[in-house]
Amino acid sequence: MPDIATLALFCVATLGLLVVPGPAVLYIVTRSVSQGRGAGLISVLGVHAGSLVHIAAAALGISALLAASATAFTIVKYVGVAYLLWLGVRKLMRRGENEGPVELPAQSKRRLFWEGFVVNVLNPKTAIFFLAFLPQFTDPHAGPVGPQILLLGVLWLVLGMASDGTYALLSSAVAGRVRRSARARRGLDVGSGLVYLGLAAWLTAEKA
């Protein structure tokens, strides 16, 4: 299993990614604004129930890949770094000045949960992200990779629910203005782009 230092670094990197809003946070914030904090928190539960599916898929897929070829596993880790670099550059290059506010119709609590679940499970970018990010902190010499991926995924899940829950609690007061502000959205894009690039650079240095 990963050592304490690796887990601590993973938690720091994860928090760095989570504090910058992405599509799931936008969905949660929008629900919180339109239906209140309770709706936002239920959406958080649905989104991260969907994350469990991606975590399990990543654990099974990476384990199978390592069993087939250690070289292929190493290639996946470097491709993961390249993917993080691409995400960072794309965020920095993105222009969203013409985007309007997102409006969603009111839904029941059950519908909120399952909608959040489906939104996350059916998002291929989420699956690709987990396959790119989680393996960076595994070590085949420290034991089976599958359980390592699951442990890292659980840590991601706990931190993600805490972060997204905070957004849900705070967004009722401030998120409406943020959603309607092109400047604020651009600032979030720049911030997230820098986080992705910094993480990719750090992981590259670690592998050197």
The secondary structure of 83-149 as a DSSP string is: HHHHHHHHHHH---TTPPPP------HHHHHHHHHHHHHT-HHHHHHHHHHGGGG--GGGS-HHHHH
3-state helix, strand, coil in the chain (%, to 5): 85, 0, 15
**pLDDT for res 89:** 83
**32-45 confidence digits (pLDDT tens):** 777 778 888 998 99
* Counted domains in the chain: 1
What pTM does this model have?
0.70
**Nearest in space to 152 (alpha carbons), one of 19, 15, 10:** 10
**What b-and-e string marks burial along 126-160, b requiring 16 or more CB atoms within 10 Å of the CB?**
bbbbbbbbbbbbbeeeeeebbebbbbbbebbbebb
pLDDT tens digits for range 141-171: 878 888 898 999 999 999 999 998 988 888 7
The range of the structural domain enclosing residue 193 comes to 4-207
- Whether residue 47 contacts residue 164, with contact meaning beta carbons closer than 8 Å, is answered with yes
| Counts for the chain of helices (H) and strands (E), in that order | 8, 0
Distance CA 161, CA 159 (A): 6
Tell me which of 156 and 193 has the higher pLDDT.
156
Residue 131 vs residue 49, higher pLDDT = 49
pLDDT tens column, 66-84: 666 667 667 766 776 777 6
CA dist 175 → 23, 35, 108 (Å): 14, 13, 21
DSSP 19: T
Is the predicted pLDDT of residue 61 greater than 60, yes or no?
yes
Query: pLDDT tens digit string along 92-135?
Result: 786 654 444 445 566 788 888 987 888 778 766 677 778 778 88
Which backbone phi and psi does 3 adopt, to 5 degrees? -80, 175
* Percentage of the residues of the chain whose pLDDT score is greater than 70: 67
Q: What is the pLDDT of residue 42?
A: 93
Burial category of 104 from C-beta neighbours within 10 Å (exposed 0-12, middle 13-18, buried 19 and up): middle
